Amino acid sequence: MKNKMIRSLGLALVAITIAPALTTAQTTWYLQVDMTSGNEGNDNWNSKVSTSWNSSPDGSGTTHTALNSTDIYDNNGHQIRSTQSLTYPTSTFAGGTLRLNGGRFSMKALTSRITGTLQVTSAGTLIASNYYTPSGGTTSNSQTLEVTNFVADGVTELRSGASAASYRQIVKLTNLTGTADLRFVNTANANGNNVLFSATNATGYTGNIVLANYSGATSSNSLLEFDNDLASGGGLVIEANSKLTLSHSLSFTSLSIGGTNVDLTKGIAYDYDALVALNASFANYLADGGGTLTIANAIPEPSAVAALFGLAVFALAAIRRRRP
């Protein structure tokens, strides 16, 4: 009886590990043209559906009639834009999964929101923000990207094109997974990029969060601050001419500052003073906000843990069967 129970438990665990692969099939639609205007009623991610999306990457399939929350929408290397509207400053994508396969996603709304999944599959994909300037409205010096599930399977560059020192790029993620880097970089502002970043759950993410320097900067100008305590399965990279405001409890598996890998004692929470005591030059890359930084061991994927546990159960069952 015990052996049967153990075998049943093992089979159940295996079923759990493969269940994600047995999800309901989704239709994938491919963008056929660059969206050249983010204005309300024009060429944005929730308009001109029938002329913008096709079931085949080359446009030889069927055309789409209406966005829905179950399908996948692939930008197919083209530019896609959220809606810029004075009436509705928050633009929510009406589709299910938005897949960025190269090309560019331009944040035109004050808040661009994706309640499903934003998946980046191609290295070099660009997510760009700039001033929110709706017709008849007041220019805002910040824009926000809100995503429920962000999957970084390709290196993503989150770029600000604003030129004012007061401009801030705000990124709010609920779940962050994937293996590719997230790079925050500024190309238009000698004052650098100013990023406020949060991710509620990032333990399944194994890429690097990178604050990249502006090529024309000569001092510490690009700024990164986390808006919540964060534990990531990946690393943190602070490049030259960049600065992290250490205002929360942060945990990563590796740390690079100014092009040098920093070997901290794992499991120890370092505050600003402790880090600067290790290397005085770190004061050029860090600002004291009352937070701490910890280097932790790599966090195993939940599916890997379940699979190993299932194998252990099968092994135990085999041992029991061999006993006289």
Alpha-carbon separation of residue 187 from 77, 86, 106, 157, 158 (angstroms)? 21, 27, 15, 11, 11
What's the pLDDT band for 120 if we cut at 50, 70, 90? very high
The pLDDT score that the predictor gives to residue 160 is 76
The pLDDT score that the predictor gives to residue 21 is 47
pLDDT > 70? residue 237: yes
Q: Are 185 and 158 in contact (CB under 8 A)?
A: yes
Per-residue model confidence as pLDDT tens digits over 73-107: 999 999 999 988 878 889 999 999 999 999 999 99
The pLDDT score that the predictor gives to residue 62 is 93
The pLDDT score that the predictor gives to residue 14 is 47
Retrieve residue 63's tokens.
Answer: 């055309």
Q: Are 38 and 10 in contact (CB under 8 A)?
A: no
| Residue 251 or 35, more confident | 251
CA 17, 295, 283 angle in degrees (round to 5)? 145
What's the pLDDT band for 46 if we cut at 50, 70, 90? confident
Domain interval for residue 221: 2-322
The pLDDT score that the predictor gives to residue 300 is 56
DSSP for 27-45 reads -EEEE-S-----BTTSSST
Cα-Cα-Cα-Cα torsion 12, 13, 17, 18, nearest 10 degrees, comes to -30
Count of structural domains within the chain: 1
| Among the ranges given (49-63, 66-80, 193-207, 245-259), the one the predictor scored with the smallest mean pLDDT | 49-63
Which amino acid belongs to residue 308?
L
DSSP for 198-222 reads EEEEBTTB-SEEEEPPPTT--SS-E
